[in-house]
Chains A and B, each alone.
Chain A
Amino acid sequence: MPVEQIPHQQTGSLVAGNRLLAPEQRSGQARPDRANSLTCGHRACRGCGEALGARWVVDAALRATGNRLIAVNATGCLEVFSTPYPQSAWQLPWLHSLFGNAPAVATGVAAALRATGRADVRVLGQGGDGGTVDIGFGCLSGMFERNDDVLYVCYDNEAYMNTGVQRSGATPAAARTATTQAVGTEPGNVFGQGKNLPAIAMAHEIPYVATATVADLRDLEAKVTRAMDVQGARYLHVLVPCPLGWGSEAHDTIRLARLATQCGLFPVLEAAYGEVTAATRIRRRVPVEGTCAGSPGTPTCSGHASGPTWSPVSRRRPIGTSPGTACWPHRHPRRWPDGDPVRHHARLGVEPDQSDRRLARRATRLPRPVSALCRRVPRRRERP
C-alpha cells in the first residue's frame, strides 16, 4: 500500500514540512542520521532529478538493510557525475562496470555474497532509462528470470541525457530529442514505440515491481523499504525529471514530477508477482497543458492529438514535446494497462473523458495487451 498521503499544504517543501509531522511519519531524509550515501560535491547539474532520486533510494535502502548494502551502477550520468577519479561521492561499496551489464554484475555480486557466506549483505543495481530499457535490457530480463536477489532501480529521465539528450526506448511519443528532432510541424519522437518496462518487469512475475517519482519522497522511501523486505528480483522505476534534457527550470524538477503523476501521465503503483496491488490515486486530475508550462497543447492527459499542438515542456522549445510530457500508458496506445483508457483512468480515479472513450473504441480493435495474455499462464513463482 502507498504511504499515507500528507496534504501538500501541510508539508510544503517536503523535507521542511517534516517538522509538522509526528517523528514516525517523517521521511528518512529528515533524520539527522541519514546515510547521505551520495554525498555533496558530486557534479550533477542543478535540479538533477536523478541525483535526488538516487540519494533518496540508496539512503532508504541502506537504512532498510542496516548499511549492509552494495551498489552496482550502470554507465550514465549517475556514474559519471559521482565518481570523477580520484573522487567518489559514494559512501557505500560501489561498483561500475559497463553500460549494459549492471543487472548481471549485480547478479554476480549477489552470488559472491552467497558463496562467501555474507548473504545478509544486499545488492542494489541502478541505472538510467537507456541503461535499463535499452542496452541493459537483456541482462535485466535475465536477472528477473533467475529471480536473483537484486533490487534494480531505473532512474527514468526519458532519454540518453549523459550523451546529450538522444532518444531512448523510454522517450515518450512526440518528444523532442537530439535524435528525434521536431522539424517543421512534425513532432519529435514517433508514436507507438517505446517500452513499458514496469509492465515488462511484471510479466516476469517477480516478487515486487513499483513505480515512483522524486515528487513523493515518503512514497519512494516506503517502496524501497518494502522492496528490501522482499527476497528475489525487484524492480523500481523512478521518474526523475532532467532540467538539461527537458528544457525545464532547475526549480521545477519536483513540480514536474508531481504534475506528471497528477495529470495521469505517470501512474504510481506497486505490483507483486505480476499483479498490481496498489496505485496512488489522483485526487484532482490536472491537464497536461498546465503540466507543460503553458503549452498550446491538448487539454487531456492523453496527448494523442496530432499536429502542432504537442505539448512542449517549456516555452523555449515551442514545437514538439520534451521527453518529460507523456506518461507511459499514453506512449503506448496499443498497450493500455487495463485494456483501454476508460478502464485505466477509472482505476486511477480519473473521470474518463471524450478522448478516453474515443481511444477505448480504438483499443478494442487493437490486439489484446500482452499482460492480459500473461494472466492466463499459470504462475511459476509461488508467493511466500
Chain B
Amino acid sequence: MSSSMFQVRIHGRGGQGVVTAAELLSVAAFVEGRYAQAFPSFGSERTGAPVVAFCRISDVAIRRREPIVDPDAIIVQDTTLLEGIDVFAGLRQDGYALLNAPVPASELGLVERLRWYPPGRVVTVPASELAQRHLGRPVPNAALLGAFAALTGVVSAASVMAAIRGRFGDGLAEGNLAAATEAYDLVRSDQGSAARA
C-alpha cells in the first residue's frame, strides 16, 4: 500500500501559506481523480512560528492519519528553518527535497545532505522572489508547487494550475499562476541540464 502512496511534508512559517500549500497539492491530486489527504501539524499557528503541514497522495482511499515521519518529499518554504529544525528527518533515500532559496542547495550548507541523495533530488527555487515579482507579495507556496510538479512529476503542472485557479480569486490567481509556471519552467530546465551533466 505504501508503494502506491506518495507522502509530502511541508515546512515553513506561519503566514507563508504552508497549510494552503498542502491543501493545494491535495486538490491537484484530486483533480487527477486520485485520493489525497492534507492536514496541518495542528499547532497554534502564529505568524512567523515554524509550521508543518502534510499531504498524502494515493490511488486508493487513504485511511491512516498519523503524521508523516518518512516522507517521499519535503518542501521547505523558509530556509532559515534549516538552522533549528531537521527538516530532512525521515526523508527517504530516494526522496525529493525542494527548498525556497535564490541560491543552489550547495550554498545553503547542505553539502553533506546533497551527498546522501541522488543527483537532482535536492533542488532550490527562488519562490519568494518569483512571488514578489508576479504577486507583489513574497508568499512562496504556489511557486513551490509549480516547482514540485516539475521536480517529482507526482502531480502534473496542469493539475497544480487548476488547484491554484480554484483556490484564489481572480486577482490573486493570475499572479500565483504566473509564479508557479515560471518556477515549473525553471526546475524543468534545471533538471534537463542536471540530466545532461
Is there any pair of Cβ atoms, one from A and one from B, under 8 angstroms apart in the complex? no
User: CB within 8 Å of A: which residues of B?
Assistant: none
Residues of A whose CB lies within 8 Å of any CB of B are none
